[in-house]
Amino acid sequence: MRSDRPDPRGSVQLPAQQGSEAEQPLIVIVDDDASVREALAELILSVGLQPTCFASMREFLDADVLDSPGCLILDVSMPGGSGLDLQHYLTQSGYPKPIIFLTGHGDIPTTVRAMKAGAVDFLTKPVQEQTLLDAVSAGIAIDAARRAEAVIVKRNVERLGTLTPRERQVLHEVVRGRLNKQIAFDLGIAEITVKVHRGNIMRKMGVASIGELIRAWETLPAPMREAGAN
């Protein structure tokens, strides 16, 4: 690993963190070379981040770290499952962690495959330290954004669950841009009843305007939106 950082303590920009120490980023290093693991861990520690190291894909999966915030640094070629195999497994399992790949002999097809699957970066060993730290910073930011989005989605899904079946029908029509009288005609109810339902929907969804309601609706998983009229 090549050193190019004048002062490692200021090399990584972290997103704003709230809460306990358990919520701080964890940088997971998976590499079958012990010397590489040691060097990477030392670098991560030098900028105030917490590393944890594994020698293989299986060792990593057996550990209880998948739900931790942060990102992964993976060697592309490892016995018992490559970094690309691990990337695919995590994506298919619902854990799309930000991943930085390291390789001693990168090639264009492998790089393209990794980047298309959502990798933060694909770096060739020996990697410049600041280049790697920049990638780690980007990975942490991506993970923080995903987690913040997941909180919003979870909140809106829970709020949607408080609506009655009729309120869901009205909501579906409102976000389509339908007027009260059009909704009333389509559902066979009085226009005043539609207004009452709209008021209840706004209150239960925790929004103050139609614009906010539409934005909340758009955060919902597609199957829930598609089932909104049922």
Determine contact, residues 55/34, Cβ cutoff 8 Å: yes
Q: What is the CATH number of the domain that holds 184?
A: 1.10.10.10
Residue 139 belongs to domain with CATH number: 3.40.50.2300
Judge whether 152 lies within some domain.
no
Q: Is residue 42 part of a domain?
A: yes
Looking at the fold, whether 142 and 35 belong to one and the same domain comes out as yes
> Which residues 6+ apart lie within 8 Å of 22 measured at CB?
none
DSSP characters over 14-59: PPP--S-GGGS-EEEEE-S-HHHHHHHHHHHHHTT-EEEEESSHHH
- Domain shared by 178 and 113, yes or no: no
C-alpha 1: how far from its chain's center?
A: 29
In a domain, 155, yes or no: no
Domain final position from 121, 146, 171: 146
Residue that is last in its domain, among 146, 171, 193: 146
pLDDT at 15: 56
The pLDDT assigned to 178 comes to 95
> Are 102 and 209 part of one and the same domain?
no
Residues whose CB is less than 8 angstroms from the CB of residue 173 and which lie 6 or more positions away in sequence, other chains included: 182, 183, 186, 187, 229
For the chain (length 230 residues), average pLDDT per consecutive 10?
50 52 83 94 96 93 91 88 87 89 79 84 91 96 94 96 96 96 96 97 97 96 77
pTM: 0.77
Residue 56 lies in a domain: yes
Residue 88 DSSP SS3: helix
Does 136 lie in the same domain as 33?
yes
Looking at residue 160, what is its pLDDT? 96
pLDDT score, position 203? 97
67 and 122 share a domain?
yes
- Is 153 within a domain? no
Whether 42 and 48 have beta carbons less than 8 Å apart is answered as no
How far, in Å, CA of 45 to CA of 43, rounded? 5
pLDDT of residue 20: 43
Q: Which residue has the tokens 């950082």?
A: 5
Residue 45 lies in a domain: yes
Q: Which letter, b or e, does each residue of 121-144 get, where b requires 16 or more Cβ atoms within 10 Å of its Cβ?
A: bbbebebebbebbbbbbbbbbbbb
Residues 132, 100: one domain? yes
Total of domains in the chain: 2
> Which of 114, 146, 178 is the C-terminal boundary of a domain?
146
Q: Which domain holds residue 186?
A: 161-226
In terms of domains, do 121 and 191 share one? no
> Does residue 83 share a domain with residue 190?
no
Whether residue 116 is contained in a domain is answered as yes
Q: How far is CA 50 from the centre of its chain?
A: 19
Whether residue 136 sits in one domain with residue 31: yes
Of 55, 66, 136, 61, the C-alpha closest to 99 is 136
Per-residue pLDDT at 95? 84
Q: Is residue 219 part of a domain?
A: yes
